[in-house]
A and B are shown apart, each in its own frame.
Chain A
């Protein structure tokens, strides 16, 4: 079972965090801090796995973003690597060659896509088509609902 997933930039800024195991806020901050420093200090040719407490951390860098997830002892590391890749593919398909800014400005979408793909730390749907279909259906519902407050929005909001 995956325990958490973190996305952070090369500068060490956290862009997305998803926790599948309940940690205290303090613990979460500590984990993020420690892992980000540790991973950023690793060299490119090093292996993508590291041990952190009793967890296995799997990470991969895509352009300016690091994707990192922690799985339990006994979980398959290579597949965790491919979970990351599939999530990147999903983001890429949805946003059309995704970049860090897309995730900053549409963070809620990044969460929604993740929820359709992984649930309770387990993979829910591995088919790219199915996940994107579900997200497209959400967007469709969105369009049916006429946005209100459009005018207020052009002020300060």
Chain B
């Protein structure tokens, strides 16, 4: 047993040794259970424990928890330790709470009070403990209790340095967790001036805080730009002895440096010439230092130095205005591409991805193409190869597309399984975007299917078909190529699908050649038929019936196929139906009618590439990359098919180059319409928007449809359907005026934590709603985990009322989405109900309210409301027939939450007692509040 530091809780050390000596998992569990029993009896015993013992036991519990066991007691004792006047006891109490207390614990009030006491302590180490605890938990209660006082503590001249450091990060934590509770930026200028503090530790902490706050209130904090530049400049020009202990392996203050460089990325390049000159000097200084001989051989030295360098490059890319620096950055990264440190190669590839999107450095990146392709071939670490793929994708343009696509195809044959699907998508997108002629595109996609058929998603092969259908010049070539591909001995099912579809449409274009005569085509396809899945067979049947039209001479052979038992009597309904219908169609219809029915498919009317959407779903950062690319308006977007007329460019990227965000929505498909960011326009500076229907939206707790909002201009209705953790909300917007709405835009906002708990996806809408009409919008919700706030929709448009003045309408409405909408009713007997009721007996799982009835107590009405909530209203369960009980399961993506409700009316007193028990504490509380409003 090694020496125990500090005061040494011997009992704890003995216990830890015991556990370590256990030979098996069972023995360990036995020892733990013995200890738990011992502690439990000590806590419950009559003898009052002194602080030291409490501390020791609490510490043992913590150890047991950290071994991976559940701990369901001892919380109260830990809270008691907080009010001890002995530092070590307090400290252990705080540690236990930081690790084990949930943000919605019932003990939170007591904890907040204990923290309050310690914050007022004269002893700064106690103040610090309290601040660390807030930073570790950062619950909403804490935000509400301390958000006002912390800024004062932070900027006060009396506060000592290490308390300031903690206070700054404490405030940051509260701001991140509850941005709406934060007071408006009153202290902005004083907080900004912390960047000038003489204590480097204070500056470092403050820089993190300011970095976050300046994103929310860029104007109030813009003073930080010049202060950050001057601080940065002092560090960059410092020698390594200047900053003493803040120099890390001969690099002056790398952490602060990186923070400041990050902070500056929140703002556009400085306009003030002297600031700008100074910043450029700093950036050049950092780039120059990269060339210096290393001052130490230690990896820490080069890591710290390069960390600063990479952050400086990130800032240079962000500014995107200094061609000279961008090219220097690119050369520096190019040197790293063949560095012996794997870490540096990885980061260089990652960073270059961004440089490739800048018009100034795009060409410079291309110089390294060979090295990058080489990384793809030789790197031993798949994460590095993945970066190389990303970079090749980013740097691809019309000039190098064929080479890059060819290299990626070669690599695909041996690529790791984990990245194949994404690579297939990328190759498909590049091939489409940069194709000079479509025969190349068709070749690439067919090759993709050949070498990585399993990873070719539906979107990819749908897409090639769409393009072939829409492009007349490539149809004959496509038919010939798929025909050849189908002749190979091993042929992926996706190839059969593409081949079937294309030959069904354009097989006639190659039928003149004896080698691909109608019957040869048919037999080739049909030789694969029995090896394919039902879905593919259905598709082939359609091909066959199309052949009946294209090649009447083989109609009788095809009819035979339809007629076989395994088609006509297939157990699969879809297949059988096709066989039956196609057979009679081919028999009954005259050639003219048949020709009309089985005419060639019209061109697909589509604007967006579903591939891009898919890639983005796969990797969210790609979207950023793409939108960065959109912003670089001057970089020519190579898009083919400008002459295509109605067929048009399918990826349609260049149109967006001169349109605003609204157009991006259109191009990237629905996901972008839903904004989940908290600092959206929907939130006013104070955090919560003014919501127009806030007085009566709660009626939707027990209703699925109705009118959400109405005035003389517009009526907004809703209709909700739910299944498990999914909800589909139909929104109806009725224009009641005589003129159309223009710039019509409904945007869904999930404020704060809700953006994580509830995913919303709204279908994009037309920007115009004609006079006197109604339009519908579908919004899909996924309940990821339990939530206690209500999503909001911002409806805005312009219209012209009778007075003739164009008017802007902009209102926020609560949507009728509450946690109870995800209820699945559960039938149960009286016995099971009360058994479950008892099982949910922990105090925190229950929430109870006693309240005065708002409406007359009428059992039919109460029944109706309770049924509307979504849980199952159980009759003959409660021994008292006057009472109502309900049971249900709330479905979220992460878990299912069993919930029981009991409502006890007291007709004399005109009061109700409502009790909700749920396996999740937060749910019982929220539901209780929600339901109490209804009765």
Residues of A in contact with B (beta carbons under 8 Å apart): 1, 14, 16-17, 22, 24, 26-27, 29, 43, 45-51, 54, 73, 76-79, 81-82, 85-86, 94-95, 99, 101-102, 104-109, 111-112, 115, 119-130, 134, 137-139, 141-143, 145, 147-149, 152-154, 156-157
Contact = CB atoms under 8 A, between A and B. Distances in A.
Contacts of B208: 122-123
Given A45-B380, A119-B166, A95 B87 contact: no
Contacts, number: 201
B138 A78 contact: no
Interface in B744-769: none
B87 A126 contact: no
15 contacts: A14-B66, A24-B785, A46-B380, A47-B381, A81-B343, A82-B307, A105-B1, A107-B66, A108-B95, A119-B135, A123-B205, A124-B166, A124-B169, A126-B253, A157-B14
A78 B303 contact: yes
B256 A126 contact: yes
Interface string B304-324: 101100110000000000000
Nearest to B49: A149
Given A109-B6, A128-B245, A149 B87 contact: no
B68 interface: yes
B205 A124 contact: yes
Interface stretch (B51-59, B184-192, B228-236, B645-653): B51-59
Contact of A105 (B16, B258, B303): B16
Nearest to A25: B70
Contact of A48 (B11, B125, B343): B343
A130 B201 contact: yes
Contacts of B694: none
A129 B307 contact: no
Given A26-B894, A106-B5, A124-B204, 5 more contacts: A26-B895, A27-B894, A48-B343, A125-B204, A126-B246
A107 B63 contact: yes
Interface in B223-279: 245-246, 248, 253-256, 258, 262
Contacts of B204: 123-126
B7 interface: yes
Given A119-B132, A119-B169, A126-B253, A138 B91 contact: yes
A82 B14 CA distance: 35
Contacts of B490: none
Contacts of A143: 7
Interface string B618-639: 0011000000000000000000
Sorted from nearest, which 4 A-B pairs have the closest CB atoms? A157-B11, A78-B307, A120-B173, A47-B342
Contacts of B62: 107-108
A125 B162 contact: yes
A104 B383 contact: no
B248 A126 contact: yes
A47 B345 contact: yes
Contacts of A153: 9-11, 56
A139 B304 contact: no
Given A79-B255, A105-B13, A109-B6, A120 B52 contact: no
Contacts of A152: 11, 53
Nearest to B386: A51
Interface in B1-54: 1-2, 4-16, 20, 38, 50-53
Given A82-B304, A142-B7, A127 B92 contact: no
A24 B894 contact: yes
Interface in B91-148: 91-92, 95, 99, 103, 125, 132, 135-136, 138
Contacts of B8: 147
A107 B64 CA distance: 12
B71 to A, nearest CB: 11
Contact residues on B (Cβ < 8 Å of other chain), bracket: 35 or more
Contacts of B138: 22, 120
B86 interface: yes
B482 interface: no
A86 to B, nearest CB: 7
A149 B56 contact: yes
Contacts of B169: 119-120, 122, 124
Contacts of A73: 621
Interface string B369-386: 000000000001101101
Interface of B: 1-2, 4-16, 20, 38, 50-53, 56, 59, 62-63, 66, 68, 86-88, 91-92, 95, 99, 103, 125, 132, 135-136, 138, 162, 165-166, 169-170, 172-173, 176-177, 200-201, 204-205, 208, 245-246, 248, 253-256, 258, 262, 300, 303-304, 306-307, 310-311, 342-343, 345-347, 380-381, 383-384, 386, 620-621, 785, 894-895
Contacts of B386: 51
B66 A127 contact: no
Nearest to B265: A74
Nearest to B20: A104
A78 B177 CA distance: 27
Given A48-B343, A134-B162, A157 B10 contact: yes
Contacts of B307: 76, 78-79, 82
Given A24-B785, A138-B125, A148 B52 contact: yes
Contacts of A139: 5-6
Contacts of B50: 148-149
B51 A148 contact: yes
Given A142-B88, A157-B11, A45 B342 contact: yes
A108 B306 contact: no
Given A122-B208, A148-B50, A51 B86 contact: no
Contacts of A51: 383, 386
A105 B15 contact: no
A86 B9 contact: no
Contacts of A24: 785, 894
Contacts of A76: 258, 262, 307, 310-311
A152 to B, nearest CB: 7
Contact of B6 (A17, A122, A130, A142): A142
Contacts of B14: 156-157
Contact of A120 (B12, B170, B380): B170
B56 A122 contact: no
Contacts of A121: 173
B40 to A, nearest CB: 15
Contacts of A120: 135, 138, 169-170, 172-173, 176
A46 B382 CA distance: 9
B246 A108 contact: no
Contacts of A130: 162, 201, 245
Given A119-B169, A127-B245, A156 B125 contact: no
Contacts of B63: 107
Contacts of B5: 94-95, 106, 109, 139
Contacts of B384: 47
Contacts of A45: 342, 380-381
Name, among A27, A86, A142, A143, the residue most crowded by chain B CB atoms within 10 Å (CB to CB).
A142
B845 to A, nearest CB: 15
A134 B248 CA distance: 19
Given A141-B87, A148-B50, A148-B52, A108 B201 contact: no
B60 to A, nearest CB: 8
A54 B621 CA distance: 9
Name, among A14, A48, A73, the residue most crowded by chain B CB atoms within 10 Å (CB to CB).
A48
A62 B246 CA distance: 24
A39 to B, nearest CB: 12
B620 A54 contact: yes
Contact of B303 (A82, A99, A119, A128): A82
Contacts of B621: 54, 73
A82 B66 contact: no
Contacts of B20: 104
Given A46-B342, A47-B381, A138-B91, A129 B245 contact: yes
Contacts of B38: 156
Nearest to A134: B162
